[in-house]
Chains A and B, each alone.
Chain A
């Protein structure tokens, strides 16, 4: 670890905001989860980027929520 833990502290505080932003994107997260779960059914095969579309939606919602909390201020 670095001497004052500055980088780690920054990363941690960013990570602490994740649950809140994830809560704001419930629908997209559920859609992505359903897509992945469907591939685990018998006969399905999970491969890379199988649910890329749903994940993109989730990621952009997540980024939008991040910007909102930044602008809204804590």
Chain B
């Protein structure tokens, strides 16, 4: 329920080969037990958070870091739209995994009084984008929030929860720091993201090396997301999905952009090496199987947007079973005024 059974991880020739090269060959399922021995075997430990911080720091201090911002900017603006849709203002808000603050730049002082920008990478916080809202930058790991209960009116999170090890616990913590009648608006990558890359790498590795290793991250399925939010205590859930397709000249440019975004693989069981031959083969397969008419290749990013509320007495509750006073059968008898009748 927590993660899909088959795991695919994105491997990008990690610059620090701290994980020894694993055996080639078929890998089926990686269980949730950490090979490094976490504090308890129950705790999921899929991603190396330390490495993720280093990758994000590296990405943020690159010379042309704005070149890779397009996806985050787009999703940030859509989350800001959803914030504006709520006819309320939020005195205190938190952006979890904010990066350079892609959501804050679209919001205004009337909607959000004060914004806490929380991220795991200090270089990203140092280069934050301009916004008119007063902000406080905090260095925070999404897995352990240092805030008190009932602090924030609004918590937003854009494209960072897919690197969290214990997603149920992270959602519970978000629920904890929200005030009653507070809202959480989040966006994370979903099941079909980068499926073209995943398939190309899998096919090429099987043909070239006789087996394959996961290279793309495991993503949460949309059903699981609803369950997780409910389990964390959120009410009135809304989950909707959006697909953004970006065209690239080829597979190498896609992989370069993913690394520039700070989205390189950081799972513990990633393969330390991606052979040049396999990369070449995968690029050829990608182009042949998925290319567009103009010769570019598409990459699909599937984004799940979720909205959840913390309970407050003023919120509408579903009616009790058996309390209906009219029947659905009477819908046909509703009189529509003459002027409004459509054909």
Q: Which residues of A contact B (CB under 8 A)?
A: 1, 8, 11, 15, 18-19, 22-23, 28-30, 32-34, 36-37, 39-40, 46-51, 55, 58-59, 62
Contact yes or no, B283 A22, CB < 8 A: yes
Are the C-beta atoms of A48 and B277 separated by less than 8 Å? no
Interface pair B281/A22, CB less than 8 Å apart: no
Q: Are A32 and B210 in contact (CB under 8 A)?
A: no
CB pair B283–A48 under 8 Å, yes or no, is no
In the complex, residue of chain A having the shortest beta-carbon distance to the beta carbon of B15: A1
By a CB distance below 8 angstroms, the chain B residues around A34 are 288
Q: How far is the CB of B209 from chain A (nearest CB, A)?
A: 7
Across-interface contacts of A11 in B (CB, < 8 A): 13
List residues of chain A with CB within 8 A of the CB of B252.
15, 18-19, 22
B271 within 8 Å of A (CB atoms): no
Chain B nearest CB from A6 CB (Å) reads: 13
Asked, given contacts A18-B252, A19-B252, A48-B209, whether A8 binds B284 with beta carbons under 8 Å apart, the answer is no
Is the Cβ of B15 less than 8 Å from the Cβ of A8?
yes
| A18–B287 alpha-carbon span in the complex (Å) | 14
B140 in contact (CB, < 8 A): no
Structural contact, A30 and B15, CB atoms closer than 8 A: no
Interface of A is mostly: helix
By the criterion CB–CB under 8 Å, are B250 and A55 in contact?
no
The interface residues of chain A lying within 8 Å CB-to-CB of B279 are 18
| A40 engages B203 (CB within 8 Å) | yes
Q: Which residues of B contact A37 (CB under 8 A)?
A: 285, 288-289
A63-B283 Cα distance, complex, nearest whole Å: 16
* Shortest distance between the CB of A11 and any CB in chain B (Å): 8
Contact (Cβ within 8 A) A29 B203: no
| B243 in the interface (beta carbon within 8 A) | no
B287 & A33 in contact (Cβ 8 Å cutoff)? yes
Give 29 A-B contacts (CB < 8 Å), ordered by A residue: A11-B13, A19-B252, A19-B253, A22-B283, A22-B284, A22-B287, A23-B250, A29-B283, A29-B284, A29-B287, A29-B288, A32-B284, A33-B284, A33-B285, A33-B286, A33-B287, A33-B289, A36-B203, A36-B281, A37-B289, A39-B207, A46-B207, A47-B207, A48-B206, A48-B208, A49-B207, A59-B277, A59-B280, A62-B280
Contact A1 B281 (CB under 8 A): no
> Which of chain B's residues have a CB closer than 8 A to the CB of A40?
203
Instruction: Report the minimal beta-carbon distance from A14 to chain B, rounded to whole angstroms.
Output: 9
